[in-house]
Chains A and B, each alone.
Chain A
Amino acid sequence: MQDNMSKLSDIATDSTLSPAQKAHFLSLEAENMLPYPALDTATAAALEERVICDMYEGHAPYRPRYVLPDYSVVLSRGSDYLELPVPETLDEAVNTLMIAYHHVPSITGMPVYIGQLDDLLLPFCDGVTDDELYRKIRLFWRYLDRTLPDAFMHANIGPTDNRVARTILRVDAELKQTAPNLTFLYDPDVSSDDILAIATRNIVECSKPHIANHPLHAATFDERGYGIVSCYNVLPIAGGASTLTRVNLKEVALRAADEADFFDNVLPQYLELNFRLAESRIDYLFNESNFFSSFLVEEGWIEQDRFTAMYGVFAMAEAVNTLQAKERREGSYGFDPVANDLGLKISRFVAEAVQQRPMQDVWRDRAMLHSQAGLSVDVGVTPGIRIPYGTEPDPVTHIEALAAHHEYYHSGISEILTFDETIRNNPEAMLQLCKGAFACGFREFTANVASNDLVRVTGFMVRLSDIKKFNENQGSRTNTTVLGAEAADIVGILERRPRVVGNELYPGYGQ
């Protein structure tokens, strides 16, 4: 208890945190003074050894990890609870959303999903001139970045080519803010070549938007649709994800004698423990926390039975290389066909296990597989199924090496392609690579241009110039994936936390 008290005191008196940031960390510490939801011995031991991981979500899951409200509900019916009338003008619609966002919880306390903005706002745009629309969106964007400063907050647009989507892309490229994150849903049969070209030019400008393969995702979900939130998690609208638990494939591989032992014994054992970890947390959320008595359920923004369990894997590269060594094979993940086939076999094996394992209080009774992008405390492991930082082959080889995995990762596969800045003079190349990736079965296309000020670190956005302020040596870095690998170092470098952060990435105070 003395330790706890001094940690609380450290937070309360910290010279670098704002009062709101202090309140956030204090609440995390208080939550973690509660006992953990009941776990059996084997699951508790695997969690303790971090072979499986709860993303440090906290001891008392009193809200789902990710909530994706159907915002069309509040825009079409208003809200009794929030005393909001039905909006009739664009200003009223934007104002209603601005209010709504502050009542949407998530693991970080910030909304991770702010809606399919073009679908939501287009009905209010009749009679609004292009210039008015531009000025209103610009103010809206500034508001979002300044009042909800979390880089995991995510807006979606597309697949149609429309005024709102175009205006958002224009404003996003002009302002180059870290928040909100943005995804364009691309459908070759619906989206125009023009708007895809604008989106890829934006990537060259500011490493946003993320581009999603809409037909592939749409087929995975139902008619209510899906949203892409936070760091590329694909989840049902009017629901979300109760929890995300993940398996460290490297740690599993280290515990196996050889490849056969890995598939026959060790991997199935830890996969099961990761299911149990999720179940225990979901049980608390559904049966103890009273979360679903919220007005969000009562008014129909979300539905209790539309929350999935995200089933994450990471450190695929290290797992494959570990098994290759145990089998005395030389080739490494990302380059060698045998190693790549082994990686694919692992993805297929885990996907099969997820498909076969029923889960209670989970959308469609099954978890959804996710390639998990990492936390700042991950050391010596590569996010998800990515090829290790700094060793990635050229973008074409890179995409071809990983494309076959994509069909298995229904709740998202966080993949980042890094381009050197020569692509600035040739955005057409980016456009073609995006089309090529989708033709190969990629679910999503995320790109960084090495010299952009605004870059992704494991998946959320930071401004390099912010980092540079705190360490002159950082100015010479050009490969942003290296920055990602060293996310923990970066946080150390930032003596004062930036105003806009990715809260999800940090397990707690002092980490």
Chain B
Amino acid sequence: MNSTPGTVSKILNYSCVDGPGNRLVVFLQGCNFNCQACHNPHTIGQCNHCGDCIPACHVDALSMVDGRVVFDPEHCDQCDACLDACPIDANPMVSDHTVADILALLHKHKPFLNGITVSGGEPTQQLKFVIDLFAAIKAAPELQEITCFIDSNGHLGASGWEKLLPVTDGVMLDIKAFSQQLHGAMTGKSNHRSLRSAQILRAAGKLHEIRFLLVPGKTDTDEELNQLAEFLGELGDDVQLRLNAFQHHGVRDAARQWEKMSEEGVSLAAERLRAAGISNVVTPAVYV
């Protein structure tokens, strides 16, 4: 296995919120969007080894070696002070994992797993790693029941999906907003490629669900919900739509000024969408 290792922010053995069943989740570091509402902004940037995080660490788990920030997981007590100190929304605790490393984890936890999900950051930023990983899983006879899912913002182009989809079982696709102006303001990018990705994935039978984050006064407006219903109607009105509620947990200061989304607000939006013919709307189990 000579492939490039993945730059990993975190790995969970257990998640019931990242696709169907219980999944091993690999959070890859780095994102091509810069969403104001991001609830784990420390996965956006890539470390530039400036060293600003080193004094923030109270257990000396970070040090500068040959001009690079080195992290010692043995000493880390997971206080996350380094994340707050980072000026570029990166994470000094990331580590490189090879395809073989992840396969070993899958073998170890296999009886408990329905599959693996790569999330982020934006996992398709590390396209080669994800393709190599999923191809290796598909090639392993004893991992045949493990399904391979991606949690993506859809900014990947058609040629990228063409390489990735043959080894992928499903994609959870985030659409942040429909109005170009709003999408630009919220993410720093246009939504053309995300919408195109939804069509590509649907045509390939790999669109597990569309995820839409409801932010009061921004994405729960009449215009946004009408466009969402229209888009889903064209895509196929049985597509699973997961409505998420904007919360303050983990978000950066600017977005913390925004109003949180209430359970009532989500229910109203869900009712409207169902009335518009969208049959498969999932709402959150928990509001925090």
Which residues of A are in contact with B by a Cβ distance under 8 Å? 394-397, 399-400, 419-426, 428-433, 435-437, 439-440, 451
Q: How far is the CA of A399 from the CA of B113 in the complex (A)?
A: 13
B111 touches A439 (CB 8 A): yes
Q: How far is the CA of A396 from the CA of B108 in the complex (A)?
A: 11
Q: Which of A399, A426, A428, A432 has a CB less than 8 Å from the CB of B17?
A: A426
Q: How far is the CA of A424 from the CA of B109 in the complex (A)?
A: 22
Q: How far is the CA of A439 from the CA of B109 in the complex (A)?
A: 11
Q: Nearest CB to that of B15 among chain A residues?
A: A429
B286 touches A420 (CB 8 A): yes
Q: Which of B21, B112, B285 has a CB less than 8 Å from the CB of A396?
A: B112
Q: How far is the CA of A431 from the CA of B20 in the complex (A)?
A: 11
| Proximity string of chain B (90-112) to chain A, C-beta cutoff 8 Å, 1 when within and 0 when not | 00000000000000000001011
Q: Nearest CB to that of A204 among chain B residues?
A: B285
Most chain B CB atoms below 10 A, which of A421, A423, A426:
A426
Which residues of B are found within 8 Å of A433, using beta-carbon distances? 14, 22, 112
A432 touches B22 (CB 8 A): yes
B112 touches A423 (CB 8 A): no
B286 touches A395 (CB 8 A): no
* Smallest CB separation, B240 vs chain A (Å): 11
Which residues of A are found within 8 Å of B276, using beta-carbon distances? none
Q: Nearest CB to that of B109 among chain A residues?
A: A396
B81 at the interface (CB under 8 A from A): no
Q: Nearest CB to that of B24 among chain A residues?
A: A396
A425 touches B114 (CB 8 A): no
Which residues of B are found within 8 Å of A425, using beta-carbon distances? 16-17, 282, 284-285
* Smallest CB separation, B31 vs chain A (Å): 23
B50 at the interface (CB under 8 A from A): no
Q: Nearest CB to that of B23 among chain A residues?
A: A429
Most chain A CB atoms below 10 A, which of B12, B20, B113, B286:
B286
Q: Which of B14, B20, B113, B285 has a CB less than 8 Å from the CB of A424?
A: B285
* Smallest CB separation, A146 vs chain B (Å): 32
Query: Which 7 A-B pairs rank lowest in CB-CB distance, beginning with the nearest?
Result: A436-B112, A429-B16, A436-B111, A439-B111, A424-B285, A429-B22, A394-B14
Q: How far is the CA of A432 from the CA of B10 in the complex (A)?
A: 22
Q: How far is the CA of A425 from the CA of B111 in the complex (A)?
A: 21
Q: How far is the CA of A430 from the CA of B282 in the complex (A)?
A: 18
* Smallest CB separation, B112 vs chain A (Å): 3
Most chain A CB atoms below 10 A, which of B112, B282, B285:
B112
* Smallest CB separation, B137 vs chain A (Å): 17
B282 touches A396 (CB 8 A): no
B114 touches A429 (CB 8 A): yes
> What are 25 A-B contacts with C-beta separation under 8 Å?
A394-B13, A396-B14, A397-B14, A400-B109, A419-B16, A421-B285, A422-B16, A424-B285, A425-B282, A425-B285, A426-B16, A426-B21, A428-B20, A429-B16, A429-B21, A432-B113, A432-B114, A433-B22, A433-B112, A435-B111, A436-B22, A436-B111, A439-B111, A440-B111, A451-B286
Which residues of A are found within 8 Å of B23, using beta-carbon distances? 429
A426 touches B286 (CB 8 A): no
> Given that A429-B21, A429-B114, A432-B21 are contacting pairs, would A422 and B109 also be in contact in the complex, using a CB cutoff of 8 Å?
no
Which residues of B are found within 8 Å of A430, using beta-carbon distances? 16
Most chain A CB atoms below 10 A, which of B20, B22, B114, B282:
B22
Which residues of B are found within 8 Å of A429, using beta-carbon distances? 16, 21-23, 114
B14 touches A395 (CB 8 A): yes
A394 touches B21 (CB 8 A): no
Q: Is the interface of A mostly helix, strand, loop or mixed?
A: helix
Which residues of B are found within 8 Å of A440, using beta-carbon distances? 111
Q: How far is the CA of A397 from the CA of B13 in the complex (A)?
A: 8
Which residues of A are found within 8 Å of B113, using beta-carbon distances? 432, 436
Which residues of A are found within 8 Å of B285, using beta-carbon distances? 421-425
* Smallest CB separation, B57 vs chain A (Å): 20
B14 touches A421 (CB 8 A): no
Q: How far is the CA of A331 from the CA of B112 in the complex (A)?
A: 26
Which residues of B are found within 8 Å of A422, using beta-carbon distances? 16-17, 285-286
A428 touches B111 (CB 8 A): no
> Given that A399-B112, A426-B21, A432-B22 are contacting pairs, would A421 and B13 also be in contact in the complex, using a CB cutoff of 8 Å?
no
Which residues of A are found within 8 Å of B13, using beta-carbon distances? 394, 396-397
Q: How far is the CA of A228 from the CA of B281 in the complex (A)?
A: 40
| Proximity string of chain B (1-35) to chain A, C-beta cutoff 8 Å, 1 when within and 0 when not | 00000000000111011001111000000000000
A394 touches B12 (CB 8 A): yes
Which residues of B are found within 8 Å of A423, using beta-carbon distances? 16, 285
A426 touches B20 (CB 8 A): yes
Q: How far is the CA of A433 from the CA of B22 in the complex (A)?
A: 7
Q: How far is the CA of A422 from the CA of B12 in the complex (A)?
A: 15
Q: Nearest CB to that of A399 among chain B residues?
A: B112
Known: A396-B112, A426-B17. 10 other contacts (CB 8 A): A396-B13, A397-B14, A400-B109, A422-B17, A428-B20, A428-B22, A429-B21, A429-B23, A429-B114, A436-B109
A421 touches B16 (CB 8 A): no
B114 touches A428 (CB 8 A): yes
Which residues of B are found within 8 Å of A420, using beta-carbon distances? 286
Q: How far is the CA of A433 from the CA of B109 in the complex (A)?
A: 10
Q: Nearest CB to that of B115 among chain A residues?
A: A432
Q: Nearest CB to that of B285 among chain A residues?
A: A424
Q: How far is the CA of A114 from the CA of B113 in the complex (A)?
A: 36
* Smallest CB separation, B201 vs chain A (Å): 21
Q: How far is the CA of A399 from the CA of B284 in the complex (A)?
A: 27
* Smallest CB separation, B105 vs chain A (Å): 11
Which residues of B are found within 8 Å of A439, using beta-carbon distances? 111
Q: Nearest CB to that of B242 among chain A residues?
A: A425
Residues B229-250 near A (CB distance < 8 A): none
Q: How far is the CA of A399 from the CA of B111 in the complex (A)?
A: 11
Q: How far is the CA of A435 from the CA of B111 in the complex (A)?
A: 7
Q: Nearest CB to that of A435 among chain B residues?
A: B111
Most chain A CB atoms below 10 A, which of B16, B23, B285, B286:
B16
Which residues of B are found within 8 Å of A451, using beta-carbon distances? 286
Which residues of A are found within 8 Å of B21, using beta-carbon distances? 426, 428-429, 431-432
Which residues of A are found within 8 Å of B22, using beta-carbon distances? 396, 428-429, 432-433, 436
* Smallest CB separation, A409 vs chain B (Å): 20
Q: How far is the CA of A429 from the CA of B113 in the complex (A)?
A: 8
* Smallest CB separation, B126 vs chain A (Å): 25
Which residues of A are found within 8 Å of B114, using beta-carbon distances? 428-429, 432
Which residues of A are found within 8 Å of B282, using beta-carbon distances? 425
| Proximity string of chain B (77-97) to chain A, C-beta cutoff 8 Å, 1 when within and 0 when not | 000000000000000000000
Q: How far is the CA of A433 from the CA of B111 in the complex (A)?
A: 8
